Structure 1
């Protein structure tokens, strides 16, 4: 029988184990996907460890919010998709029930899109979450335009790298923030127009320098915490801050009366909206076709080594690039 990764209690990577389960037949409006590969995301780590704010029902919880594979079966009332189509999973909202850490996943047909032409299996497995999050925050929420100076925190991470590429595709100017000057060359190669290393420079002064004294038009805060105060000061009056991260667990003070527009953002806000998803897909396909959008991959693991993949993530050995598990 097909294999599925599950966990029966919260904890470290070792709580995950592989079981065999019969395939689930798709009902009306559903498709079954034979998974070829899936990406390992920080959200998966939060679910497994019990630190995710949303409830996860135990035992026998699944993992995985993105992946890629081939449609294996189509349920009634599904149009436009058929067995044999290569697809990507677009942010599975109920991952604890039908997540992508498996050889097969049965999901609503609305949760899959045609695999962008030109992507390999590993890249296709790792593209949706990071790029849809960055696109939703910058394009849909902040209305990013050509010429905008976009300040991006946690720029070395998957969403940060995607945000820089998307800004470049639009014609905006991505300014990356990193804690370590040693990452400057890598971030420039990844698409940053400028890099601010907080172990060497003051954020506010550096942003003023790189924007001709006006400040950032858009700030994408993927960290949160007390450091957000510097980001608010670095933005121009009338600019926009998108709070889309959770890397710093310390409280974040949102001041009243700020001259900025501040939005909180989570990717499911848009990835469950069919109209926005179609815009995302069109943008993604164009970017891949032009070579402007391409996920940075770290290491591939086999399904049997999924525990090691999570250990690799927790140790930070991936350096912000995506970890992929092939099935």
Structure 2
């Protein structure tokens, strides 16, 4: 079969190589899945760089999130069990984490549902307890993680303020349903949020960026507000001033969604049922900005790492355009 493999760490487009290799052998409690689509996530780039909290043995195949097909023909979504990731014709996944793909979504959309929307749902509901009528501030609102949070915030009845970088991304955020869009390249984010909320600030802040985005959040979070720290796509891990959180009476909440898979897998399955229902009702639909050819996978991972994409970038398998292998 064809697979993208990493033999040394570095920038994705420099260390990913397309190879012919044997199909992976699933271990105990695992399934072999034929990959129908693989969604690119920022952690895929971190894996290539050797900077992710999990470091699979070399060589490995990136691609942590897939829509696949079981041997008996079931269409499913899963997080791939590294080192046998989804940027290949076949991947391996733990059977306990394999979930039915929503019928309302095509393969690319289904591949982009699991991690981003589960992260958004747990962050907004389990961690921040978002309530109808509250104001939700989403950083990187046009990105893969942010766009999911925007849709989930609207589904929850929140007023959503989206922050995006540049006119094109601001337009995407607006098309997703943001009630207010702030272009961080042209506007003062803190001033714009305070103006939009009558000086009160945002009740919940969803931050997958870190760095300056976090510092802005701390300046425009409301009384009894909640800042949900999802990741650090901006490259800087901020050091929050806890005295500031005390004085302004807000909460800083960390979210590591993968821990729910370990400690509360039933909650993950219940969330999937909710997301499947949302998709069927048209409340959510992953924004797929590009369906990349399998031969272009390394460049796709690099573009996601560079933050130049909007929504989700999904890689299609060789059979969808590059010729299937064995």
- What TM-score does the superposition give when structure 2 sets the normalisation length? 0.88
Say whether 1:69 aligns with 2:68.
Answer: yes
Q: What's the offset of the Cα at 1:302?
A: 2.6
2:77 is the alignment partner of 1:109: no
Q: Which residue of 1 aligns with 2:278?
A: 287
- Residue matched to 2:220: 234
- CA positional deviation for 1:309: 2.4
Map of 1:35 onto structure 2: 35
**Of 282-291 and 245-254, the range deviating more from structure 2:** 245-254
Residue pair 1:10, 1:48 contacting (<8 A) in 2 also: yes
Length-normalised TM-score, structure 1 = 0.88
- Identify if the C-alpha distance between structure 1 residues 239 and 303 changes in structure 2 by more than 3 Å, giving closer, same or farther: same
CA contact (8 A) 2:38 2:66 kept: yes
Is 2:239 the counterpart of 1:253?
yes
- The CA deviation at 1:4 is 2.4
Name the SS for the 1:214 alignment partner. coil
In structure 2, C-alpha distance between the alignment counterparts of 1:200 and 1:159, rounded to whole Å: 22
The reply to whether residue 100 of structure 1 matches residue 86 of structure 2 is yes
Residues 24 and 312 of structure 1, relative CA distance in 2, 3 Å threshold: closer
Please state if 1:51 is matched with 2:70: no
Provide the secondary structure at the position in 1 that maps to 2:217: helix
Tell me the residue number matched to 1:86.
Answer: 75
CA apart distance, 1:151 = 0.7
Deviations 1:71-117 (A, max 9, x none): 01xxxxxxxxxx1111011x34x43x221122112221112100101
Task: Name the structure 1 match of 2:252.
Answer: 262
Instruction: Write the distance in 2 (CA, Å) between the matches of 1:129 and 1:122.
Output: 13
Q: Deviations over 1:102-156 (max 9, x none)?
A: 2112221112100101211111122212111111211121111211111111111
1:14-68, Cα deviation, whole Å (9 max, x unpaired): 321233343345454322211111011211111112232443422x122111011
Structure 1 residues 127 and 202: CA distance shift in structure 2, 3 A = same
The CA distance in 2 between the partners of 1:178 and 1:126, in whole Å, is 20
Contact 1:136–1:270 (8 Å) recurs in 2: no
| Structure 2: tracts of 5 or more residues without a match | 318-326
Please report how far the alpha carbon of residue 181 of structure 1 lies from its aligned counterpart in structure 2 after TM superposition: 4.4
Q: Distance in 1 between matches of 2:299 and 2:185?
A: 31
CA-CA distance at 1:252 after TM superposition = 1.1
2:304 is matched with which residue: 305, 308, 313?
313
Residue 171 of structure 2 corresponds to: 185
Alignment of 1:159-174 (within 5 A): 159-174=145-160
Native 8 Å contact 1:226 1:251 kept in 2: no
RMSD: 2.0
Unaligned runs of 5+ in 1: 73-82
2:70 aligns to what SS in structure 1? strand
Number of aligned residues: 311
Helix, strand or coil: the match of 1:213?
A: coil
Task: Pick the aligned partner of 2:197 from 211, 216, 219.
Answer: 211
* Cα distance in structure 1, aligned partners of 2:45 and 2:20: 22
Aligned mates of 2:43, 2:194 — CA distance in 1: 34
Partner of 2:207: 221
Is the 1:34–1:69 contact (alpha carbons within 8 Å) kept by the matching residues of 2? yes
Secondary structure of 2:215 counterpart: helix
